[in-house]
Amino acid sequence: MDYLKTLRDLFAFMKNTRLSETQMRELQNQKLRALLHFVWERSAFYRHTFEEAGITEKQLDRLPLSAFPTIDKTILMEHFEELITIPGLNQEQLRKFDAENTADRRPYLGKYHVVHSSGSTGKPGYFIYDEAAWHTMLLGIIRGALWNMTILQILKLLAGRPRIIYIAATDGRYGGAMAVGDGIDGVGAKQMYLDIKTPLDDWIDSVHKFQPNIIIGYPSAIKILAEFVEDGKVQVQIKRVISCGEPLGSGLRKFLERSFKCPVINIYGASESLALGVETGTEDGMLLFDDLNIIEVENGVMYLTSLYNFAQPLIRYRLSDHLVLKEPMPGSPFSRAEILLGRNEDLLWFEDTAGRRDFLHPLAVEGFCIEGLLDYQFRQTAPDAFEMLAEAAFEERKPAIEAEILRQMKGILQGKHLGYVQFYVRFVDAILPNPETGKKSLIVSTIQTEMEEAV
């Protein structure tokens, strides 16, 4: 990204925060109508589904969005080639690109940013952003990260070449890692990735050497760094903490604010649209980026319409998150919501015979894409042991699935210096969601130990 162009576009984009509610709705409607006409002309899938629903081209400018058909991830992946508007591109090409190239931020064919999404049949799925969509999304994320700062404050911050550390899963085509990296490049900052698979002993040395003044990452991982600060193991001067990738509870927010003595900003996003909203405090709720997306909630179900990604258009796409729309915040043109449910996993903490502790983060182990593996869940059974509950599509695939799981997990554990941890695979008929939340936890624990309470 070009530094001066990024700043120029960012400051122009920030003007949307000063629109009235009416102006925001008008902008949203203009973008929606342009998107609908575009997919009618360029996407065989949408044109067909619109016509099946009795929608004509003349109605695209006047029908409410609620009149259009909904889709979900299964439909998207089944009709990938018909839905996207990039001629000749298909999922097999993307899988080959993903498998044969080192996971980095390099776009496919130099112009398509590929975000990996774990598949339901052992094959990964992908979300595609062209250069225009990626740039717009990055502006949304940068705006959110610098929320409540004036242009002069932003210029002063960036003039000092901030040193930004990103603590998360960084060794795959994760949308967050790719967006953060490109966004940091775009504002001319220095950056360091700290992968959650890195042994904890290495965290302290890395942070001491880099001396970050901005932290971005999973709140559960930032919490560990905050505990190091509280214990005096790490000394840092942090100007801003930016949480992403997981829900941020009010208790953890207060802890991070106290530990780092700075504002904590929470960015809300998904692979389907990496810039969905921003939360600056629990009392304000989540402000949704209405100039980038339309979020609908019907009977507790959340639907996304991305207004900026014309390469892989998502119109009334069902997301698994649950939110409740709230009354608008006075003086803000953005919709406001309360995020009820989302990714909120525990860490798997282990302890060896010498009392040394380290962890596995759920996002470090969620990328298993094995043919015939339908679903899985990790269950801790002892301070130095855990098992993987696996659901297989076919009985005859179980031996191959188990062998591949064991191979991959062995590498992860060795990389974290957790070779002493015992790991098993147990096949089950089905892995069911939590009846209270409707969502499946990736990690559950069956033990209650002093070690867990210390975490």
Does pLDDT of 451 surpass 60? no
Q: What is the mean pLDDT of the chain?
A: 87
Q: Which domain holds residue 362?
A: 348-454
Q: Are residues 338 and 383 in the same domain?
A: no
**Once rounded to an integer, what is the mean pLDDT over residues 325-353?**
79
Q: Are residues 118 and 266 in the same domain?
A: yes
CATH number of the CATH domain containing 367: 3.30.300.30
Residue 129, pLDDT score: 95
Q: What type of residue sits at position 337?
A: A
Does pLDDT of 341 surpass 60? no
Q: Are residues 359 and 435 in the same domain?
A: yes
CATH number of the CATH domain containing 184: 3.40.50.12780
Residue 345, pLDDT score: 54
Distance of alpha carbon 61 from alpha carbon 123, whole angstroms: 38
Residues 6+ apart with CB under 8 A from 432: 440
Does pLDDT of 139 surpass 60? yes
Q: Are residues 330 and 360 in the same domain?
A: no
Residue 438, pLDDT score: 47
Write down the residue that tokens 């695939």 correspond to. Answer: 397
- What are the distances in angstroms from CA 213 to CA 76, 91, 236, 241, 344? 40, 40, 7, 9, 26
Residue 170, pLDDT score: 75
Domain end marker among 293, 312, 343: 343
Domain total in the chain: 2
Q: Are residues 243 and 301 in the same domain?
A: yes
Residue 70 · residue 146 · CB < 8 Å: no
Residue 195, pLDDT score: 86
* Termini Cα distance of the chain: 40
Residue 370, pLDDT score: 81
Beta bridge partners of 339: 323
Q: Are residues 58 and 116 in the same domain?
A: yes
The band of 311, judged by pLDDT with boundaries at 50, 70 and 90, is: very high
Residue 434, pLDDT score: 60
The band of 103, judged by pLDDT with boundaries at 50, 70 and 90, is: low
Domain end marker among 325, 343, 361: 343
Domain end marker among 343, 364, 385: 343
Q: Are residues 282 and 389 in the same domain?
A: no
Q: Are residues 90 and 200 in the same domain?
A: yes
Does pLDDT of 248 surpass 90? no
Does pLDDT of 448 surpass 60? no
Region of poorest pLDDT, from 193-202, 365-374, 401-410, 416-425: 365-374
10 Å CB burial of residue 181 (0-12, 13-18, 19+) is middle
10 Å CB burial of residue 299 (0-12, 13-18, 19+) is exposed
**Once rounded to an integer, what is the mean pLDDT over residues 72-86?**
94
Q: Are residues 336 and 402 in the same domain?
A: no
Rg, the chain, Cα only: 22
Does pLDDT of 72 surpass 90? yes
pLDDT in tens, 382-439: 999 999 999 888 899 999 999 999 998 998 899 889 999 999 999 999 887 665 444 5
Q: Are residues 172 and 276 in the same domain?
A: yes
Q: Are residues 314 and 442 in the same domain?
A: no
Does pLDDT of 292 surpass 70? yes
Residue 421, pLDDT score: 94
Residue 322 · residue 314 · CB < 8 Å: no
Q: Are residues 261 and 113 in the same domain?
A: yes
Task: Return the higher-pLDDT residue of 171 and 54.
Answer: 54
Residue 37 · residue 60 · CB < 8 Å: yes
Write down the residue that tokens 């559950």 correspond to. Answer: 444
